[in-house]
Chains A and B, each alone.
Chain A
Amino acid sequence: MNSNNNDYWRANIKLTLMLLAVWFMASFVCGILINDWLNQFRLFGFKLGFWFSQQGAILTFVALIFFYVWRMNRLDRQFGVDEEDDISESPDAGDDV
Chain B
Amino acid sequence: MSAQLLTYFFVGATFTLYIGIAIWSRSGSTSEFYVAGGHVSPLANGAATAADWMSAASFLSMAGIIAFEGADGARYLMGWTGGYVLLALLLAPYLRKFAKFTVPDFVGDRYYSHTARLVAVVCVIFISFTYVAGQMRGVGVVFSRFLEVDINSGVIIGMGIVFFYAVLGGMKGITYTQVAQYCVLIFAYLVPAIFVSLTLTNNPLPMFGFGSTMADGSGVYLLDRLDGLTTELGMTAFTSGNKSTIDMFFITAALMAGTAGLPHVIVRFFTVPRVRDARISAGYALVFIALLYTTAPAVAAFARINIINNVDSMVYADAPEWFRKWENTGLIAWADKNGDGKVQYRGGNALSPAAPAYDGRGEHGERRVSNQLSDNDNELYVDRDIIVLAHPEIAGLPNWVIALVAAGGLAAALSTAAGLLLVISTAISHDLLKKTLMPSISERQELLFARISAAVAIGIAGLFGIYPLGFVAQVVAFAFGLAAASFFPVILLGIFWKRMNKEAAIAGMLTGLTFTFAYIVYFKFVSPDSNNAENWLFGISPEGIGTLGMILNFVVSGVVANVTPPPPPEIQEMVENIRIPRAI
Contact = CB atoms under 8 A, between A and B. Distances in A.
Interface of A: 1, 5, 8-9, 12-13, 16, 19-20, 23, 27-28, 31-33, 35, 39, 43-47, 50-51, 53-55, 57-59, 61-62, 64-66, 68-69, 72-73, 76, 80-84, 87, 89-92, 95-96
Given A20-B89, A45-B221, A96-B31, A58 B576 contact: no
B77 interface: yes
Interface in B58-99: 66, 71, 73-74, 77-78, 81-82, 84-85, 88-90, 93, 99
B39 A69 contact: no
Given A62-B287, A65-B88, A32 B274 contact: no
* Among A19, A31, A39, residue most surrounded by chain B Cβ atoms (within 10 Å): A31
B89 A28 contact: no
Nearest to A47: B239
Nearest to B279: A69
A50 B280 contact: no
Chain B interface size band reads 35 or more
Contacts of B276: 69, 72-73, 76, 82-83
A28 B116 CA distance: 32
A2 to B, nearest CB: 10
A45 B298 CA distance: 12
Contacts of B542: none
B242 interface: no
24 contacts: A12-B579, A20-B85, A20-B89, A27-B252, A32-B74, A35-B245, A45-B211, A54-B66, A59-B294, A65-B286, A68-B88, A69-B88, A69-B279, A81-B580, A82-B276, A82-B581, A82-B582, A83-B275, A89-B99, A90-B37, A91-B35, A91-B100, A95-B29, A96-B39
B290 A58 contact: yes
A92 B276 CA distance: 18
Contacts of B93: 72
A90 B211 contact: no
B2 to A, nearest CB: 36
Given A44-B221, A65-B283, A95-B30, 10 more contacts: A5-B580, A19-B89, A20-B89, A44-B211, A54-B73, A58-B78, A64-B89, A68-B279, A90-B273, A95-B443
A84 B287 CA distance: 27
Contacts of A39: 239
B265 interface: no
B130 interface: no
B297 A54 contact: yes
Contacts of B35: 91-92
Interface string B172-202: 0000000000000000000000000000000
A66 to B, nearest CB: 5
Nearest to A22: B85
B332 interface: no
B576 A57 contact: no
B77 A58 contact: yes
A70 to B, nearest CB: 9
Contacts of B73: 54
Given A39-B239, A58-B81, A68-B88, A32 B245 contact: yes
A28 B579 CA distance: 28
Which label, helix, strand, loop or mixed, suits the secondary structure of the A interface?
helix
Contact of B283 (A5, A9, A47, A66): A66
B212 A81 contact: no
Interface in B17-59: 29-32, 35, 37-39
Interface string B240-252: 0000010011001
A65 B293 contact: no
B211 A43 contact: yes
A73 to B, nearest CB: 6
Contacts of A46: 211, 223
A91 B270 contact: yes
Interface of B: 29-32, 35, 37-39, 66, 71, 73-74, 77-78, 81-82, 84-85, 88-90, 93, 99-101, 207-208, 210-213, 221-224, 239, 245, 248-249, 252-253, 256, 270, 273-276, 279-280, 282-283, 286-287, 290, 293-294, 297, 443, 496, 576, 579-583
Nearest to A92: B31
Contacts of A28: 249, 252-253
A82 B97 CA distance: 12
A53 B89 contact: no
A12 B37 CA distance: 29
A91 B101 contact: yes
B581 A31 contact: no
Given A45-B212, A53-B71, A68-B89, A83 B248 contact: no
A32 B79 CA distance: 12
A33 B89 contact: no
A32 B248 contact: yes
Contact of A65 (B74, B101, B282, B496): B282
B239 A96 contact: no
Given A43-B211, A46-B223, A55-B207, A92 B71 contact: no
Contacts of A45: 210-213, 221-224
Contact of B71 (A1, A23, A50, A58): A50
Contacts of A64: 85, 89
B245 A53 contact: no
Contacts of A62: 283, 286-287, 290
A92 B443 CA distance: 12
Given A53-B71, A55-B207, A87-B273, A69 B37 contact: no
Q: Would you list the 7 A-B pairs with minimal beta carbon distance, nearest first?
A: A92-B31, A45-B221, A90-B38, A53-B74, A45-B211, A87-B273, A65-B283
